[in-house]
Amino acid sequence: MPAPYHRNALRHLARGALAVSALLASAAGQAAEELHLYNWGDYINPQVLSRFTEQTGIKVSLDTYGSNEEMLAKLQAGASGYDIVFPSVHMQDSMAALGLLEKTSIDRSPAFANIDPSFLRAKSDPKGEYCMPYAWGTVGIFYNKTKVSKPIESWADFFAEAKAGKKVIMLDDMRETLGVGLIVNGKSVDSTDLADIKQAESWLLERKPLVSAFTYESVPMVQSGDVAAAHYFVGAMMYVKQDPEHLAYVIPKEGATLYQEDMCVLKSAPNKANAKRFMEFFLQPEIAALNTEQQMNGTPNKEALKLLPAELRDNPEVNPGPEVMAKLQIFHDLGKDLKKYDRAWTRVRTAN
């Protein structure tokens, strides 16, 4: 999952302005063919959208959300008019259980062969009859090279810098941050065993005095060197690319979480045919590559991967080799057991 968008003040304003202009645009051209996307903030290359409109004449509007839960809550509250959403895999399973997703049969499209079948991770959709794998990435450590004593390779290094008086920050995210506690102790990030969760909780509590903040506002703080290192998404690579001398992103040795979002059509979608056209458009390797190049994350499209510039394709922090891949874990929906995480997280956040 990319960094939640709504927490960033300035982007929030920009988003407001965009929404207004989109509204005006849609009011102007009622008759034209339309497609309405509801995606994470900053999670699609705008060029992909403009190219789609050029080729098909279909007008695309884009609304954004900051978390899976925000998106689901809006849809449950009756938000309509959206055609395509981009849930994380575990949220896709929840949405399938709630009957919100449309069967698209996208797996029958010839270009679906471009998709690496190992990315068909949703339990509710093992063949890809509903949704199409969109993008993936890791959650690791984003740091400022000038502020640390040696390159950070692991969570142990991260907290060693903190012990030496450097400022470090972690995500304000219940499952991601407790997930670090589970990973370093060799447990599954989906564990529902209270003993495991308790262990992760006390591991975090021991280190809480070393953590300056729990936040998503990490990028500017690391860029300026106000913070030496931050628990952050691979999307930080966008900034590393601009300033590779000072910045770096690393997948910690202990392991990390992996996220993947899929492109799904809603049952309530008003423009289902256009939505399918967009999915097929996105299956083209050049288009998927155009997106990934700007996003600096992973693509499930095998053919697109070949088209990427070598420094991205062969970057072990973005497209790691098989032994690192084996250490990555993806979240699954926990149902009622989510409660255990909520309690542990509340206790971590309440301790002084």
Partner 1 sequence: MLTAENRARWRLAGLLSPATLIIGLFFVVPLAIMALYSLLEPGMYGGVEWTFYPDNFGRILGWADGSNEEFDVVYLQILLRSFKLAAITVLLTLLVCYPAAFWVSRQPERLRNFCLFLITLPFFTSLIVRLYAWVLILRPTGFLNASLQGLGLIDAPLDLIYTEGAVLLGMTYIFVPFMFLPIYASVEKLDRRLLEASADLGAGRWQSFWRVIFPLTLPGIAAGSIIVFIPSLGNFIVPSLLGGARVLMIGNLVEQQFLAARNWPFGAALAMLIMAAVLLFLLLYVRWQGRAALKEAAR
* Footprint on this chain of partner 1 (rule: CB under 8 A): 9-10, 12-13, 67, 69-70, 72-73, 76, 94, 97-98, 167, 169, 172-175, 208, 211-215, 217, 221, 224-226, 335-336, 338-339, 341-343, 345-347, 349-350, 352
Integer Cα distance of 278 and 52 in angstroms: 7
Tell me whether residue 308 or residue 348 sits nearer to partner 1 (CB atom). 348
Report residue 147 CA to chain centroid gap: 27
Q: Per the annotation, does 173 bind a ligand?
A: yes
Task: Give me the least distance between CB of 107 and partner 1, in Å please.
Answer: 26
Task: Give me the least distance between CB of 8 and partner 1, in Å please.
Answer: 9
Beta bridge partners of 35: 60
Integer Cα distance of 185 and 249 in angstroms: 22
Amino acid at 251: I
Tell me whether residue 176 or residue 303 sits nearer to partner 1 (CB atom). 176
Integer Cα distance of 315 and 241 in angstroms: 12
62: tokens are: 């884009």
Task: Give me the least distance between CB of 34 and partner 1, in Å please.
Answer: 29
Q: Per the annotation, does 132 bind a ligand?
A: no
Tell me whether residue 100 or residue 115 sits nearer to partner 1 (CB atom). 100
Task: Give me the least distance between CB of 335 and partner 1, in Å please.
Answer: 6
DSSP 268: T
Tell me whether residue 305 or residue 348 sits nearer to partner 1 (CB atom). 348
- Count of alpha carbons within 13 angstroms of residue 230, beta-carbon side: 27
Tell me whether residue 254 or residue 337 sits nearer to partner 1 (CB atom). 337
Task: Give me the least distance between CB of 176 and partner 1, in Å please.
Answer: 10
Integer Cα distance of 236 and 232 in angstroms: 7
Integer Cα distance of 202 and 209 in angstroms: 12
Q: Per the annotation, does 174 bind a ligand?
A: yes
Q: Per the annotation, does 176 bind a ligand?
A: yes
Instruction: Enumerate residues 6+ apart whose C-beta is below 8 A from 47.
Output: 290, 294
Instruction: Enumerate residues 6+ apart whose C-beta is below 8 A from 227.
Output: 144, 147, 167, 168, 169, 212, 218, 221
Which residue ranges make up the annotated binding site?
173-176
What residue numbers does the annotated binding site for spermidine cover? 173-176
